[in-house]
Chain A
Amino acid sequence: MKYTMALVLDQAEIAPDIFSLTLRVSFAGQARPGQFISLYSGDGARLLPRPISICQIDEGRSALRLVYRIAGRGTREFSALKSGDEIRVLGPLGNGFPVDDYADRRVLLIGGGIGVPPMLSCADALREPVFAVGYRSRELAYLLPEITAYPEVLIATEDGSLGTRGNVLDAIRASGPKADAVFACGPAPMLRAVKAWAEEAEIPCFISLEERMACGVGACLGCVTKTTGVDGHSHVKNARICKDGPVFAAEEVDLS
């Protein structure tokens, strides 16, 4: 975990308001799939770092690729960064997906909306990944070249312009893929549905959560999720997403 400057290697808008940013940063080699980094605004009036998940890890170039959507002024500022610019970052943060436990197994990687990027870093660390990704429309279906390079991919779009019409669970139910585990990241309704589906199919399921964060390191207790058991830090039923997560075994968290 380092608080340091990162060098922008490249940035491009890969879909409307969705940007791919590659940073050279000293801690890239320590990053794990499913972890995130905090990016700091150059404007001191925007105090809080923006947590962004890691999309791809390039240890050789000591680089991390981040894919993010413009959600406000902070991310809009980041979208203007050009090759050669510097930005202050903190990372790698959080726990990440258990890719080592399932390296040789068949893992269903479910990504919805802006939850798709971390699935790509997981796929890079697994022998048999199966993608299931959901988008609003074909126009907003980003990262497709990278994802379709893998042999097994299910795609859903809400308007039916690409793949199964509906959400990512509709695509999964339509083809009934077999898997030894599920890794998922996406909006809360999707994660609730994924959790229920995996429970019924009796497949171990790990989900990555997001929440408004302040410190990013587990000190402020701003970004908690309800848990089914007593959490290890505060001994209540509220785990810290930034530090104890963002990835949790689905049965550990109460998404109701």
Chain B
Amino acid sequence: MMNTSNPDLTTTLASVTFKNPVMTASGTFGSGMEYCDFFDLSRLGAVVTKGVADVPWPGNPTPRVCETPSGMLNAIGLQNPGIDVFCERDLPFLRQYDTKIIVNVCGHSEEEYLRVVDRLADEAIDMMEINISCPNVKEGGIAFGTDPAAVERITRAVKAHARQPVIMKLSPNVTDIKVMARAAEAGGADAISLINTLTGMKIDIERARFALANRTGGLSGPAIHPVAVRMVYEAAHSVSIPVIGMGGIVTAEDAIEMLMAGASAVSVGTASFHNPMAAAEIADGIGAFLARKGYGSVSEIIGIV
């Protein structure tokens, strides 16, 4: 008989088995160094790193962030140290922990993405996530993620080079997420993750100017959670590859909604800014929920609705 007091939290995506379905959303957790004093990173299913490019990127001017009702806007612009520093400094740090490593990859062009993918070929990482959905950079990013032909092309190019399973991270700033999900699948993606942030704008009326130097930014936080659940549901029901669900998850209950909508795993992002322990607490909370409801495993609730 199944022991429901100790439910099985493992989840498997593209032959990679995670100890629990909770990951960190790229860009909200660095490479984990800034959060390792708050909890043992081994409590996470995976750390998904901040996007890394082939060379260092300086990012956007400040202000880069502002608060909005139940959320925030950001326009960081993918500031990152480049793949060489990342491989020398961040990956050895993460390997100290018993958690999976998913490296988020960004670029301005197909060639730049592929340089990072090639550089990662001999690194012991578990998966890579290709960011084709950042709304805050002018080239690459969302420019690829809003055109299904481009999504399929870049996915196929990355798959031809990648040694590790590939997750394509999709943008919600599209008319029909199902089309984008199918394009990633057609290109050979091993999984998809969604949603990246929703493009927004805030105006500082006292100063009569944009709140962010970039004018627009990506909206995240609980304000976007119902949109994310809907899009994860639609995407999960239009492809046969696994989906990683994210967008406004603050509590275990939010994460469970995402799993029930069809996600095989979830990422916790902005919540870490409100509570540095959020991701670990959500992993514990999912276990407690499964036990309370008598489920034997996470897999029983994935796509249950």
* Chain A residues near B (Cβ < 8 Å): 1, 3, 40, 44-49, 74, 90, 211-225, 233-238, 243
Give the nearest-CB partner of A48 in chain B: B67
Chain B residues with CB under 8 Å of A47's CB are 67, 70-72, 221-222, 270, 273-274
Chain A residues with CB under 8 Å of B221's CB are 47
When chains A and B are docked, how far (Å) is the Cα of A167 from the Cα of B243?
58
- Give the top 7 A-B pairs by smallest Cβ distance, nearest first: A222-B65, A219-B34, A219-B30, A236-B58, A235-B81, A212-B63, A217-B34
CB-CB contacts of B109-137 with A at 8 A, as 1s and 0s? 00000000000000000000000000000
* Chain B residues near A (Cβ < 8 Å): 27-30, 34-35, 37-38, 50, 56-59, 62-67, 69-72, 74, 76, 79-82, 85, 221-222, 250, 270, 272-277
Chain A residues with CB under 8 Å of B67's CB are 46-48, 74
Give the nearest-CB partner of B24 in chain A: A219
When chains A and B are docked, how far (Å) is the Cα of A90 from the Cα of B276?
9
Chain B residues with CB under 8 Å of A45's CB are 69-70
For this complex, 11 residue pairs linking A to B, each with C-beta atoms less than 8 Å apart, are: A44-B70, A212-B65, A214-B65, A221-B79, A222-B76, A223-B65, A233-B81, A234-B79, A235-B82, A236-B56, A238-B58
Partner of A220, one of B56, B58, B66, B273: B273
Partner of A218, one of B34, B85, B275: B34
Known: A211-B63, A224-B64, A235-B82. A219 touches B29 (CB 8 A): yes
Chain A residues with CB under 8 Å of B58's CB are 234, 236-238
Q: Is the interface of B mostly helix, strand, loop or mixed?
A: loop
Give the nearest-CB partner of B64 in chain A: A222
When chains A and B are docked, how far (Å) is the Cα of A3 from the Cα of B57?
31
* Contact yes or no, A220 B74, CB < 8 A: yes
Chain A residues with CB under 8 Å of B69's CB are 45
A171 shortest CB reach to chain B, Å: 28
When chains A and B are docked, how far (Å) is the Cα of A214 from the Cα of B74?
9
Partner of B56, one of A211, A216, A224, A234: A234
Give the nearest-CB partner of A74 in chain B: B67
Give the nearest-CB partner of B71 in chain A: A47
Known: A45-B69, A48-B273. A221 touches B63 (CB 8 A): no
Chain B residues with CB under 8 Å of A222's CB are 62, 64-65, 74, 76
Known: A40-B274, A236-B59. A213 touches B37 (CB 8 A): no
B111 shortest CB reach to chain A, Å: 21
Partner of B37, one of A1, A40, A49, A225: A1
Chain B residues with CB under 8 Å of A216's CB are 273
Known: A220-B76, A222-B76, A234-B81. A211 touches B62 (CB 8 A): yes
A234 shortest CB reach to chain B, Å: 5
Partner of A214, one of B56, B57, B250, B273: B273
When chains A and B are docked, how far (Å) is the Cα of A240 from the Cα of B38?
19
Chain A residues with CB under 8 Å of B63's CB are 211-212
When chains A and B are docked, how far (Å) is the Cα of A235 from the Cα of B58?
8
Partner of B62, one of A40, A212, A233, A234: A212
Chain A residues with CB under 8 Å of B79's CB are 221, 224, 234, 236, 238
Chain A residues with CB under 8 Å of B56's CB are 234-236
Chain B residues with CB under 8 Å of A225's CB are 62
Known: A235-B56, A238-B58. A212 touches B66 (CB 8 A): yes
When chains A and B are docked, how far (Å) is the Cα of A237 from the Cα of B69?
32
Chain B residues with CB under 8 Å of A218's CB are 30, 34
Known: A221-B76, A224-B62. A49 touches B38 (CB 8 A): no
Most buried by B among A1, A48, A225, A237: A48
* Contact yes or no, A3 B38, CB < 8 A: yes
Chain A residues with CB under 8 Å of B72's CB are 47-48, 214
* Contact yes or no, A215 B85, CB < 8 A: no
B202 shortest CB reach to chain A, Å: 11
B148 shortest CB reach to chain A, Å: 31
A30 shortest CB reach to chain B, Å: 13
Chain A residues with CB under 8 Å of B80's CB are 234
Chain B residues with CB under 8 Å of A243's CB are 34
Supply 11 further A-B pairs (C-beta < 8 A) apart from A236-B57, A238-B58: A3-B277, A44-B70, A47-B221, A48-B72, A48-B274, A90-B276, A212-B66, A219-B28, A220-B74, A222-B76, A223-B64
* Contact yes or no, A49 B273, CB < 8 A: yes
